[in-house]
Structure 1
Amino acid sequence: MKTIKIITAAASIAILGFTSCQSDDNTEIGTNPNANYSTSTTASNYERAAMNDGSDDDFLDGNACTELLFPLTATVNNQQITLLSSLDFSSVINIMSEFNDDSDSVTFNFPIRVRTSNYTEVTVNNQSELDALNQECENAEAQGKDAISCVDINFPVTMLTYDISLEQTGSVVLQSEQQLYSYMTGLESDELFAVNYPISATLSNGTEIQITSDAEFQNAISECMQYEDEKEDAANTAAEVEAVLSGTKFKVETFINDGVDTANDYAEWSLEFTNDLKIVATNVVNSALGEIEGTYSVSSETEAFVNVNFASNTALSALGNNWVISTYSTTLITLQSKTDASVTLAFKKL
């Protein structure tokens, strides 16, 4: 999950629906210490937080800087599908998740339309043009011009306006991210502003916070971006562990509960993790015992998890748990119970 968006070379969107008025409210004329220039860190923070978010469809276009517009048609893993709205994303995800050891492919039926980070709508005529947008997105991230999508400002927000002498010239009420983005990118060098705090914002973890200063907004951004980095790291871990497990046979190397290692109870069993999220356990000593089938799934939040499930009346039911991935390699995966850190399990590749 990426959290970047790009400022493209297209012209800024005009500010629509702003209200401006001369006012002495909430400030002392000529003495506001929080007035910011267009080149200030605060201006950059609000501009980046207000960019159009194109990250929800990254699993299709691989580009957090562009929002795909509907309708569009694409071929996903050799299956053609027409998307009329974001509600159709689930159909694409179902196709992609059918097997976990294949390489998912998406081919668009061009032309398609996208909305960029500065709210400009662009027609993309072929894969080369889409690749160029993806490269712009990567360049923006490398240059520190990426957007901040982990803080959603709750509108309306009022900006108090000043001249270079710090004399208040009025106020502007902004009703949306697009208006905020246009305001920030339209500031002239002799125009200053101060945010009329407090404002509220919703973080990507669902927490709503009150912000009372530019410094608090900067802190909120730093904290939520760290949270997003943790989520991305966990998602990468989950993907890598799923690739290690899929289509491979393992044995129980250790299973420690209450300080006792009971791995010997499972020494006769091999466990194959199939590419359709099943576990097929086979007794390698006594074939008459047949096979025991369970399921597994790999997921992530700010940690990565492997959920293992066997029916309660089987020889392997005790392995069922939601396990936190502790360490992993191509041959050994160590896990810890999500609810009891003293319970650990390790799978070793056969």
Structure 2
Amino acid sequence: MDLLHSLGVDLTLYLQNNYSNYENIFHLASSLADLHTTFIIFFPVWFHLRQEVGIKLIWVAVIGDWLNLIFKWVLFGERPYWWVHETQFYGAAPPPVLQQFPITCETGPGSPSGHAMGSAGVWYVMVTAVLSVAQERKHSALFLRVMRLGLWTLFCAFVALVCMSRVYVAAHFPHQVISGVISGTIVAEMFSRIRWIYTASLNKYFCTTVFLLCSAVGFYLLLKALDVDLLWTLEKANMWCAHAEWVHMDTTPFASLLRNMGTLFGLGLGLHSPLYVASMKSKSTPFSLGCIITSLSLLQLLNTLSFSSKSTLSFYLLSFFKSAVTPFIVIALVPGSVSVLFRSKREQKYL
């Protein structure tokens, strides 16, 4: 395994030495691959354009990230930025000097890459959704072939860029991003065959959220009882990160778990809210555009809200509730408010 890790470090050094001019692009790719971007940008747009796609995006992102957490706890993957300091592979020779960045110091295990897994799953859903819409509109066979080739080329190019960005910032080894892409694509393809998520009851959302949360916590407690420390990476991150302020609590495994559980539960609450039911009567293009613009604006404001990490429990709980509010705003609060506005304008028109 050390040989595989050393080859990954060599690739990181090559990218950092030869592609430093693309640093901003790599950072942008990592940002777009973060599931946070899916929740506050991709989801609002898709939900109001094509509701089923928006729902599928959340399920693929949440279940994919939950599986990613379990995989990481099982595989115990190293990360380049700390591995080079602790390995005996280089013997008496000085270890390679890897450049670090504010997004380098992830605190969880490294395998598989969550960014690669999430981006592959989310972008797979979006590409297949666009192709499905094109097929429904009965374009010519030639047009569909060209579109299919173009979109899958774009998909591969973006995912490859995400993989390069994660290797460039020394957060992952190449084999970790490759396994992440494969895993994310499998999850997305799996959900393309599942239909019950579009009609799930609030009780099913609640039970699924509780099951995912309890199973992850239970797995953690079981391994802890067997004297397996699943938070071993926190010490390494604090020890080897170039700047202490780059180590953030929101990158810890449990912070990610609670954010995702909050998002899934918020999706269920929103879909079964009276505000959402009332807004279903308004389905015009201006209404959808108004919902998209308003949702994006409100979520950007919500995104400015941050919590102190002095109290771990309060940080996790507040993160859960903030994540639950995000889809509720998109699904219920905004459409309900916009539908009232449209209704009042129609009534004034006929007075």
Asked whether the two chains share a fold, i.e. TM above 0.5, the reply is: no
Structure number, greater radius of gyration: 1
Bigger proportion of residues as helix: 2
Q: Which has the higher contact order (CA 8 A, sep 6+)?
A: 2
Q: Which has the higher strand share?
A: 1
TM-score, length-normalised on structure 1? 0.29
Taking structure 2 as the reference length, what is the TM-score of the superposition? 0.29
